[in-house]
Amino acid sequence: MATVPSVSYSITVRLEVPAGGKAVSQLTHAVESAGGVVTALDVTNAGHEKIRIDVTCASRDTDHAQAIVDQLEAVEGVVIHKVSDRTFLMHLGGKIEMVSKVPLRNRDELSMAYTPGVARVSMAIARNKEDARRLTIKRNTVAVVTDGSAVLGLGNIGPEAALPVMEGKAALFKRFAGIDAWPICLDTQDVDEIVRTVQIIAPGFGGINLEDIGAPRCFEVERRLRELLDIPVFHDDQHGTAICVLAALKNALRVVNKGIENVKITMAGAGAAGNAVLRLLLAAGARNVIVCDYLGAVHKGRDDLDESLRWIADHTNADGYSGDLRGAVKGADVFVGVSAPGILTGDDIATMATDAVVFALANPEPEVSPDDAREHAAVVATGRSDYPNQINNVLAFPGVFRGLLDAQAGGVTQEMLLAAAGALAAVVTPEELGPNYIVPSVFHPDVAGAVAAAVRESAGGRARGFTEA
């Protein structure tokens, strides 16, 4: 549940009030007295006796929205006609569509776009399949693939319920990097079936973005697909998160004048995101890291270690700390949470080192209250849009895929991820850098281009225009 009114729980209430009464002036007060925020008040119809008004307001959650409606209805003379949830309205009929890039106005154009002219293009590709990148949508198309098993913070909700999220991802690809992405929601959670399905649809795509596939299944899916395919396979929940965390940490450590090789880092979360973040932090020079899961610190002496946890134990926690998260946080310079809500308090943050950095990224409710963390830490970041320093994967994946597609890359390397993180961090200039600005806005015009250029250079490729023949 949101702690403050949010546009994600925005409603529009259509109501009527008497034309000459006090009700109009009381509407805003009614919403505010219920804890909501009025964002628009529009008169849609006016008469001598009645006025129809659309009141748009932000609430905290569904129950709070109903409380606001009840408060409005309690105003003398108000008649409620309709309540619309603006988020649901945005999703009606889906959020993306396919649009032709070429006109089809006459028989000549039809004969070139389709039969008989298209046959010549097909035969050219049959002779050299690499021409598919040049002559089809493959050059600029990404498949956003999920099995619906780990969708946002909602868990295993299935492929149909995952579709709105994947549509949103596709819309972000288009908005921020000009990439045509398409949601592929699979009705299976069998690794073999997922891998085989993606393998046989791959010819139509220039890259694969794995999304919201639960751990540890996601590790095997990614590994096998990278071995099978000659196009990039990128698991955004892992590598997109890792890029953004490293970029933010680079800048946060500049704020507090500490080096990544010298700080103690405590992490909460050893799943897909935690594993990838850890690997990239180590590649960037981190030396002193303790990772905790729900059982406490990961260390070599635990008897429940699977392959992924064993790797973590072998590369972290050199002193063999075996206690809980609260103990691991004591004296730490950095806390990175990619786990569960409310597992730490402000008092826990108070035990960290001077000028501590706290990344509480569980969404929508962070590992520790950002307000409480700010009382003790020098820099605080979350995954939320209603606090400064939002660490959001949209800062990474559009630019990463733009660079991969432009370079016609066949895969994704750790060097590319490090390059992307460095470029993202550098978008924040020294003059802008501060405790409340360690990552740029997702709408910063330079983000996708900077990340794409870094990935393209790391891949050894060059920029290619969308219309190159």
Annotated catalytic residues are: 114, 169
In single-letter form, the type of residue at position 256 comes to V
CA–CA dist 411, 181 (Å, integer): 18
Block residue for tokens 């895969």 = 411
CA–CA dist 126, 119 (Å, integer): 10
Number of H helices, E strands in the chain: 18, 14
* Tally of CB atoms within 10 A around 295: 11
SS3 of residue 289 by DSSP: strand
SS3 of residue 440 by DSSP: coil
Helices 191-201 and 217-228: crossing angle in degrees, nearest 10, is: 30
In single-letter form, the type of residue at position 10 comes to S
Exposure class string for 208-231: b at 16+ Cβ within 10 A, else e: bbbbbbbbebbbbbbebbbeebeb
- 8's enclosing H/E stretch is strand 6-18
Mind spelling out the 3-state secondary structure of 344-400? CCHHHHHCCCCCCEEEECCCCCCCCCHHHHHCCCCEEEECCCCCCCECCHHHCHHHH
DSSP 8-state secondary structure symbol assigned to residue 407: T
**397, two tokens:** 């994946």
- Contact between 232 and 208 under an 8 Å Cβ cutoff? The reply is yes
* Tally of CB atoms within 10 A around 135: 13
